[in-house]
Structure 1
């Protein structure tokens, strides 16, 4: 077991106490899509981890906490590699790249926060308690897929924002962050499908992303290493997909005793 060095809980309001990359991401998010993130910033607490193995951002339902990995120097080498082929005039700085990377990570975790609020994580813990592994794993895979969609939706908004500013470095930072996440090529079809209303292209991009990232998304749940391939009730699907607007938001399900806190770990 890895013991993380965590400082006490923070709020996002204390700007001076936030790591610079997180503060920069929060400022950028407020410019681009502030109202959509208001609930996340107001209703979650923040844990800062100094461990080099901590994720950049991870939502934990117990206490509704966002864990943030403050050791961002580890991303320096990949930044150099990813941006090495970019024209010098268009190349984002490391700080710009990191700010966008954190913004996309927070968008991903915002989806899980909203799934929690809407009752989808209770659905997961119910299946876990019942040892219904096919449905538990299928739901987890769907939740992760939806968070990827929300992340790409945020990438579209960030790119359009930087285009409006006439900032090639900002656009380059978005592309570099997507490259780091191995979704850059899928993003092109996703963006075009979304902006032009080409539903076939949009759906094809989602299917490619689902297949490409399914193994990665499910890897954190040991019992789901073989995935989940069963049907889910319609209400369960709606609660899981509501953050991406692919389904209707429904009231949260009845209270569920969470017997494990292994979600998203």
Structure 2
């Protein structure tokens, strides 16, 4: 699995980092970060291909699963966990799974990413089926947990995609809809939590947000299905109703208390 060049492991364009002034270090990191959005823009056609296939499955009652290890696994969990409060969807619609289980979210679990069979075992606990979609996330494109999971999912007739930061990796070759975003070498050599992680986060934002828009979870540009779980979100919901229904704040608050969500308040009055 190592017979290709890993851009993510190439030597940093900067040297003697420990001798840099704070301002110099920050400027250099920012300079590298500016390359990420440009790299992501280049792979929009790949993102589109995966997303169209995923949305089709979601509309048929399927679910979306992210699998990853380390930083990549945590990013998948982050994106999945934000879908219910933002879009009011069931928690099981988008699920993030990390090598080593939930304890690995905060602390690395030794050798968890090296088990090629474990990802499929983890997926089967969710009763995964051909209606679902699995996206493997791995900056290197070689993580055994992720590559094995994608291969097993494909064997079972499940649509597969991936997000990786190396070209022609085993992961990209295994997935039906690969996204290969080349962000170049990291500021700290091999530290793929940096530019690679930022690229993965940006692409996950694009995937989940566009999917939810396609599923009708946004009205205009507003999160009308968001969960009203705190004062900030309640205030935002009231402001939405004030603007969308041309009512005063008290009437908007009354509508919200009566119906429980912005969408229901809009549809039932």
TM-score band by shorter chain is under 0.3
Q: TM-score, normalised by structure 1?
A: 0.25
Give the number of the structure whose residues are more often helix, by fraction.
1
Q: Which protein has the larger Cα radius of gyration, Structure 1 or Structure 2? A: 2
Q: TM-score, normalised by structure 2?
A: 0.24
